[in-house]
Amino acid sequence: MTPPRAAATPRAASTSGTGPGAPYTRVKQHLKDGLAADQWPSGALMPSEAELVAQFGVSRMTVNRALRELQAEGLVERIQGVGTFAAQLHKVSSTLTIVDLHEEIVGRGHHHESRVHLQRSEPASIELAPQLEVAPGSAVFHTLIVHLENGVPLQCEDRYVNPAVAPRYLQADFTRITPTHELFRTTALWRAQYSIEAAQATRQEARLLGVAADTACLILVRRTFTREAPITIARLVHPGNRYSLHGEFQP
């Protein structure tokens, strides 16, 4: 016999039937939720395709697609002839690829909300000006936005934008679209430069994120460029206890 399966909660009623979207997304989200809730600890055997077919009343191809995509996302590991297992880090996924946070959160089936704390034009400080290659004192755009996933602060985004590259930046409604999305839409990304560090957030950031002032945070500072000029410099602060970056590359 194959290894014993964790006694699956007969939870058919809650998710089968009326989930949002296509059947395969329902199966996928059901498994994602279970993984997030630690229903299957790392390495545990998950339900087989046949069991999911019975539970959701869909065809095997549909279940197979859901599982295949979870595997591609690194959430599960599958072994032919053996079974499907919960992968190690079901914490949070993000690659260093520049990804739109909104799409990432929604992709997890969760709710994304942006709180815009600042959206205005400011004179460039003496430290900032060379970063954006503008004259000190000339106007630059500044936004300060906190992103929430299901109501929980996930990222504090402090961003300066070069007006020469994105002149209409300030007119966007950042409660509806993210700065990343707006800049992707209006500029031609050519190069990015990033630095990642672990440190304490500033007092203001800690307050905005709702964490203690001495919490270890993951701070990513990213500068992006068109072929000619800097587009933006962003300081992205994640509370370390609920976020981890991960990625993969293949030379």
| Residues near its own copies (CB under 8 A) | 43, 61, 72, 88-98, 130-131, 188-200, 216-219, 238, 240-241, 243-251
- Pick one of DNA, its own copies, none as the site partner of residue 1 (Cβ within 5 to 8 A by kind): DNA
**2/195 with CB nearer DNA:** 2
Amino acid at 11: R
**Shortest gap between Cβ of 239 and DNA (angstroms)?**
33
**23/163 with CB nearer DNA:** 23
CA angle 72, 37, 238 (to 5 degrees): 75
- Rounded to an integer, what distance in angstroms lies between the CA atom of residue 224 and that of residue 233? 7
The DSSP bridge partners found for residue 160 are 142, 233
- Pick one of DNA, its own copies, none as the site partner of residue 241 (Cβ within 5 to 8 A by kind): its own copies
**Shortest gap between Cβ of 171 and its own copies (angstroms)?**
24
From residue 246, how far is each of 85, 97, 167 by CA, in Å? 19, 10, 33
Binding-site ranges for DNA (CB under 7 A): 1-3, 8, 10, 22-25, 46, 48-51, 57-62, 64-65, 67-68, 71, 78-84
**Shortest gap between Cβ of 120 and its own copies (angstroms)?**
25
DSSP 8-class letter at 45: B
- Rounded to an integer, what distance in angstroms lies between the CA atom of residue 184 and that of residue 207? 29
**Shortest gap between Cβ of 219 and DNA (angstroms)?**
31
At 236, list the tokens: 């992205």
- Pick one of DNA, its own copies, none as the site partner of residue 23 (Cβ within 5 to 8 A by kind): DNA
The DSSP bridge partners found for residue 153 are 148
**22/152 with CB nearer DNA:** 22
Other residues' Cβ atoms within 10 Å of the Cβ of residue 147 = 21
